[in-house]
A and B are shown apart, each in its own frame.
Chain A
């Protein structure tokens, strides 16, 4: 997992390595400075001349300057390395998602992808920064201090044989008990936040049923429960400080008692005062570096979850691939379904589509109706190869869809999705999604055809009107018409409207269909609709039920042969629709 993520470091390897090297330099200087300060103190005590004192001072200032440079540059490089690593990682995850097929997309929820790209990567960035700063520094510091302690303190250093294991075991125990507790609480905490979100969203329901007190009580219980769990987990972690203190103090007392005895009884032969002071200093350093290492350990385990979630995206293999020798031209708009079956997931029990055989001639208008879950959307999504069939094959322009270059195929099979979306930007920018080089004239033509031109012109900024994120500043019907225009600009061989005029009023809906007939007669038009009026005049109407084609024919034929069709027709002609 770490290897996989590390691939994204790329050009930021250099600043990472520089950081680590600078950290080594800093450690060396940090270890040297005590010697010099000790000399400074001795100089003063000995009452040496000012010039000597200043000389020592200058050396110290010189070291401080180097240390400052190292620290400053390291701050720069390590920030650059970690921010850059995060940037690359975000880039990699985002591009990976762009390569996803519909199948892959279905597996991840939007919000989880957003979290992975932002919060999770930020966690990794912080851990990485910590690692390159301390991963070399702390062990080095530790090793240096241990060596020095033995060299200076001799037998006194046995104190570390006791203290170090105790501290390590203590810190590990804390981490071990705290970690699972935290993980559990975080999950609960996420759920609590979800329930707040739920409450905010459903505020009208809460108030409508006068459930304010009930909700507050529910929330108080949940929050207090979590608070208890948090307190438990944090209390374990709060032992870190005291454990560290105990070790530190033990070390000091030990050094002072044993050290003073040794020194005095040997009259300074075995140990001198300077060594005792040094032992105290190095003891501190050893324990501090252990503390740092335990912090890295905690940080790493904490961000492990984040890493796992990022890797899930990076490991997801796109399920659709371009063929080896793709065809770059779609001849016409004819479509053929040969014995097609389709499942969304391989191990799904139920087929979304089964035994579909259809022949649609180029230029035909085809209507599809059926209840929710009858397979209408699944059927049309196979045509531009948004999913691959499980069995059978689909031919467009006489060739299997899997033989085309995907981009070529999708450009000639324009699909207006049921759950459609405009992007923040001007209307023009949105329309250009269909064709980057579309001229103003082409855009106006497409918008006229989708009955969008008039309302666009009624905006003060016309085609330069800015669409807010999620298209919140246009009505549902206007949005749908813009989406149709965006698809029309592709000048496709096949145009698929998946319930794309549901919010458009009946009159405009009819005008759009009339326009299709008149101005794009050679384009095959497939229209999925809830309203029977939208499909009634089609050349061919497909009635879907339970993933199968229940009936095919034109309006008159279906009125005679299909009970479902007749039932829906009768119910709907009892009353019109009001919208827009």
Chain B
């Protein structure tokens, strides 16, 4: 029995529906990925399906032979008739076993390979999606594409598709054999098949419906449990355990009802089809008996070809009985796959949805290169790391110009909104000269972070212009633009791996010494060396073994090692307690030396020494100037600064 990793949480989704385009696309992709293996596998499946039917014929013949020879008691003579047949049988079996083994092994390769390719494809697409996608979709939902949705396809490819194919082959071949022998009897069998199809559509449909409802109920339970488990301490503080239990029981009961119905329907299907098969068997026998007795002329393809229509004979009725058995078995097999197919197609649709997302647009053609500046002030491109960078700017007439990277960022009259008709920034102009420290203060939602989102082009502006060293940032290749900007965000994200690896994330070719130096500069070295394994301490689960403040320090070191000419610090020190901040501040000041820095902070002590401070309110800059300028203006900034005193 093969099965995949256990699904974590079940896919949510719309009503079950059978979407043939999705299925077509999966099959197309399978052939595209495995142009040799797929046809080979299909050939093996077809072959084993055919050989599975053949032995029955030989068995029948051997038994017939036994019947012929039974009264002679002469094994020697019988042997000569029977053994060759058995040898053919053995040959068939051997080939069949080879085919089955081959297709089972091939199927493993194809299934696993396909899933792997899908995952990589999804991941690659995802890396190139705009930040907007991640802001708009819940992370849990994106995750479930990788876990549940991909997993639903495993069963589809490894089991459902082959068994559907096999069943189709068997059904068609049996049907043609039946038609060859007798049309009347075929009609009887078909009548039974139609009934079964009808019943399985009804029952199977009900089952699919409740399976979907069950998934929804699981989702609901999961949501409830998630909320309660994360608030467990609050529950204890308020002695709210009993109420929680009662609420949970309600959700639980709902899940029970849907789960029970879903499985009841699914489990019913087997016995129903199986016993309809038994009834069909009787029906075929009875009709056969009637036809035999009434001697109705037997219409059949075989008869039509030979041109002699005779009455039905016993020799035909008995095989029909076996064939109706075979029919039932195959239909039962198909119906068992209904739920898998419905769920897999729903999952595949969601996966394709992700793959079909439009990637982040990048029409930039200005690139960032290392350079040397000679005595005359001319800029030469080089492959070495020199500590100097230049913007390489190809022009329409084929000429190239180089502009030295200095970190001069200007925004002119920028308007922006995350949603249409809902502007978050109005007419914002910011001028940051190389080496200046520019600070933004303002309430949550005033638009501080939005400004930085625009500078590194996580989002594109609607109106106005942003220039970087005089170049419109829309012309700069996104990856190069971002490489020149170091960012430290309020919400720190670290990766699984050692502390060292996390710092090196800033610049992949940095040496250990450079990483340690960066940590020292940002004040992280102190606590890192006190960790049990120092720089080799493994971080997991977003560095949950560290405090929020320590995580921020590592993030600062990570940005420091990248050594970018421009830095954006978005609440980078918000979670560092005031005593530690004192230490970090010194490092930060050193780090900021000679760089253009954008700082967002709500602790005024962090930004007081900035060259320019912008006070933002509802997406507009309402005050700007140095700390002293602003204090003199006696406006909002002044009130903020003095706030803690006037109240006491």
Taking CB as reference atom, which chain B residue is nearest A475?
Answer: B444
A491 at the interface (CB under 8 A from B): no
By the criterion CB–CB under 8 Å, are A277 and B63 in contact? yes
By the criterion CB–CB under 8 Å, are B218 and A72 in contact? no
Across the interface, which residues of A come within 8 angstroms of B180, CB to CB?
none
B314 at the interface (CB under 8 A from A): yes
A-B contact pairs, 9 of them (CB 8 A): A50-B293, A118-B218, A226-B116, A239-B101, A261-B79, A265-B75, A433-B234, A533-B648, A579-B602
Known: A198-B493, A209-B482, A210-B482. A216 touches B644 (CB 8 A): no
Known: A41-B318, A118-B221, A372-B549. A264 touches B2 (CB 8 A): no
By the criterion CB–CB under 8 Å, are A44 and B314 in contact? yes
By the criterion CB–CB under 8 Å, are B603 and A575 in contact? yes
The contact of B641 among A60, A190, A576, by CB within 8 Å, is A576
B186 at the interface (CB under 8 A from A): no
By the criterion CB–CB under 8 Å, are B496 and A195 in contact? yes
The contact of A82 among B263, B494, B562, by CB within 8 Å, is B263
By the criterion CB–CB under 8 Å, are B602 and A208 in contact? no
15 other A-B residue contacts (CB within 8 Å) besides A475-B445, A579-B443: A50-B289, A71-B275, A200-B134, A200-B142, A204-B134, A219-B119, A219-B120, A238-B105, A260-B82, A264-B66, A267-B73, A407-B239, A410-B239, A572-B644, A576-B604
List residues 210-256 of chain A with CB under 8 A from any CB of chain B. 210-216, 219-220, 223-224, 226-227, 230-231, 234-235, 237-242, 245-246, 249, 252-253, 256
List residues 176-224 of chain B with CB under 8 A from any CB of chain A. 218, 221-223
List residues 443-488 of chain B with CB under 8 A from any CB of chain A. 443-445, 456, 458, 478-480, 482-483, 485-487
Taking CB as reference atom, which chain A residue is nearest B456?
Answer: A208
Known: A70-B271, A83-B259, A193-B147. A470 touches B123 (CB 8 A): no
Known: A198-B496, A224-B116, A574-B608. A237 touches B241 (CB 8 A): no
B647 at the interface (CB under 8 A from A): yes
A91 at the interface (CB under 8 A from B): yes
Taking CB as reference atom, which chain B residue is nearest A40?
Answer: B285
Give the CA-CA distance A210 to B505 in the complex, in Å: 10
Across the interface, which residues of B come within 8 angstroms of A91, CB to CB?
245, 248-249, 252
By the criterion CB–CB under 8 Å, are B318 and A45 in contact? yes
B394 at the interface (CB under 8 A from A): no
By the criterion CB–CB under 8 Å, are B236 and A110 in contact? no
A541 at the interface (CB under 8 A from B): no
Across the interface, which residues of B come within 8 angstroms of A344, CB to CB?
none
List residues 552-611 of chain B with CB under 8 A from any CB of chain A. 562, 577-580, 582, 602-606, 608
Closest CB in chain B relative to A91 CB, distance in Å: 6
The contact of A198 among B227, B256, B495, by CB within 8 Å, is B495
By the criterion CB–CB under 8 Å, are A252 and B282 in contact? no
A356 at the interface (CB under 8 A from B): no
By the criterion CB–CB under 8 Å, are A216 and B127 in contact? yes
By the criterion CB–CB under 8 Å, are A298 and B1 in contact? yes
Across the interface, which residues of B come within 8 angstroms of A208, CB to CB?
456, 482, 485-487, 489
B542 at the interface (CB under 8 A from A): yes
Give the CA-CA distance A95 to B246 in the complex, in Å: 10
Give the CA-CA distance A53 to B648 in the complex, in Å: 105
Give the CA-CA distance A568 to B580 in the complex, in Å: 10
By the criterion CB–CB under 8 Å, are A386 and B604 in contact? no
By the criterion CB–CB under 8 Å, are B9 and A119 in contact? yes
Taking CB as reference atom, which chain B residue is nearest A67?
Answer: B275
Give the CA-CA distance A410 to B139 in the complex, in Å: 36
By the criterion CB–CB under 8 Å, are A114 and B86 in contact? no
Give the CA-CA distance A147 to B608 in the complex, in Å: 92
Interface size class of A (residues with CB under 8 A): 35 or more
Across the interface, which residues of B come within 8 angstroms of A314, CB to CB?
none
By the criterion CB–CB under 8 Å, are A201 and B127 in contact? no
Closest CB in chain A relative to B117 CB, distance in Å: 9
B386 at the interface (CB under 8 A from A): no
By the criterion CB–CB under 8 Å, are A206 and B127 in contact? yes
Known: A224-B116, A264-B72. A299 touches B605 (CB 8 A): no
Across the interface, which residues of A come within 8 angstroms of B75, CB to CB?
261, 264-265
List residues 120-169 of chain B with CB under 8 A from any CB of chain A. 120, 123-124, 126-128, 131, 134, 139, 142-143, 146-147
Known: A67-B271, A118-B221, A576-B644. A423 touches B489 (CB 8 A): no
Taking CB as reference atom, which chain A residue is nearest B110?
Answer: A231
From A1-9, A97-105, A135-143, give the one contacting chain B.
A97-105
Across the interface, which residues of B come within 8 angstroms of A473, CB to CB?
none
The contact of B233 among A117, A419, A564, by CB within 8 Å, is A419
By the criterion CB–CB under 8 Å, are A113 and B225 in contact? yes
By the criterion CB–CB under 8 Å, are B605 and A574 in contact? yes
A406 at the interface (CB under 8 A from B): yes
List residues 494-517 of chain A with CB under 8 A from any CB of chain B. 505-507, 510
Give the CA-CA distance A174 to B648 in the complex, in Å: 77
Across the interface, which residues of B come within 8 angstroms of A531, CB to CB?
644
By the criterion CB–CB under 8 Å, are B578 and A117 in contact? no
B71 at the interface (CB under 8 A from A): yes
Listed from nearest, the 8 A-B pairs whose CB atoms lie closest are A71-B271, A75-B267, A202-B493, A575-B604, A575-B605, A64-B278, A79-B263, A227-B116
List residues 461-514 of chain A with CB under 8 A from any CB of chain B. 469-470, 475-476, 486, 490, 505-507, 510
By the criterion CB–CB under 8 Å, are B230 and A196 in contact? no
List residues 274-289 of chain A with CB under 8 A from any CB of chain B. 276-277, 280
A384 at the interface (CB under 8 A from B): yes
The contact of A114 among B229, B458, B506, by CB within 8 Å, is B229
By the criterion CB–CB under 8 Å, are A572 and B605 in contact? yes
By the criterion CB–CB under 8 Å, are A204 and B131 in contact? yes
Closest CB in chain B relative to A217 CB, distance in Å: 10
Closest CB in chain B relative to A40 CB, distance in Å: 5
Closest CB in chain A relative to B35 CB, distance in Å: 19
List residues 15-39 of chain B with CB under 8 A from any CB of chain A. none
B3 at the interface (CB under 8 A from A): yes
By the criterion CB–CB under 8 Å, are B97 and A242 in contact? yes
Known: A97-B232, A209-B505. A86 touches B259 (CB 8 A): yes
By the criterion CB–CB under 8 Å, are A78 and B267 in contact? yes
Give the CA-CA distance A477 to B50 in the complex, in Å: 72
By the criterion CB–CB under 8 Å, are B225 and A94 in contact? yes
List residues 69-104 of chain B with CB under 8 A from any CB of chain A. 69-75, 78-79, 82-83, 86, 89-90, 93, 96-97, 100-101, 104
Across the interface, which residues of A come within 8 angstroms of B290, CB to CB?
50
Across the interface, which residues of A come within 8 angstroms of B641, CB to CB?
575-576
A172 at the interface (CB under 8 A from B): no
Give the CA-CA distance A450 to B522 in the complex, in Å: 39
B260 at the interface (CB under 8 A from A): yes
Closest CB in chain A relative to B290 CB, distance in Å: 6
A295 at the interface (CB under 8 A from B): yes
A326 at the interface (CB under 8 A from B): no
Give the CA-CA distance A540 to B415 in the complex, in Å: 51
By the criterion CB–CB under 8 Å, are A75 and B245 in contact? no
List residues 167-198 of chain A with CB under 8 A from any CB of chain B. 185-186, 189-191, 193-198
By the criterion CB–CB under 8 Å, are A268 and B70 in contact? yes
Closest CB in chain A relative to B224 CB, distance in Å: 9
Closest CB in chain A relative to B486 CB, distance in Å: 8
B295 at the interface (CB under 8 A from A): no
By the criterion CB–CB under 8 Å, are B218 and A61 in contact? no
A453 at the interface (CB under 8 A from B): no
By the criterion CB–CB under 8 Å, are A415 and B237 in contact? yes
Closest CB in chain B relative to A538 CB, distance in Å: 12
Known: A86-B256, A260-B82. A227 touches B218 (CB 8 A): no
B317 at the interface (CB under 8 A from A): yes
Give the CA-CA distance A294 to B2 in the complex, in Å: 12
Give the CA-CA distance A302 to B605 in the complex, in Å: 57
By the criterion CB–CB under 8 Å, are B285 and A253 in contact? no
By the criterion CB–CB under 8 Å, are B239 and A98 in contact? no
Taking CB as reference atom, which chain B residue is nearest A384?
Answer: B237
The contact of B223 among A230, A306, A410, A469, by CB within 8 Å, is A469
Across the interface, which residues of B come within 8 angstroms of A230, CB to CB?
112
Closest CB in chain A relative to B59 CB, distance in Å: 7
By the criterion CB–CB under 8 Å, are A95 and B579 in contact? no
A205 at the interface (CB under 8 A from B): yes
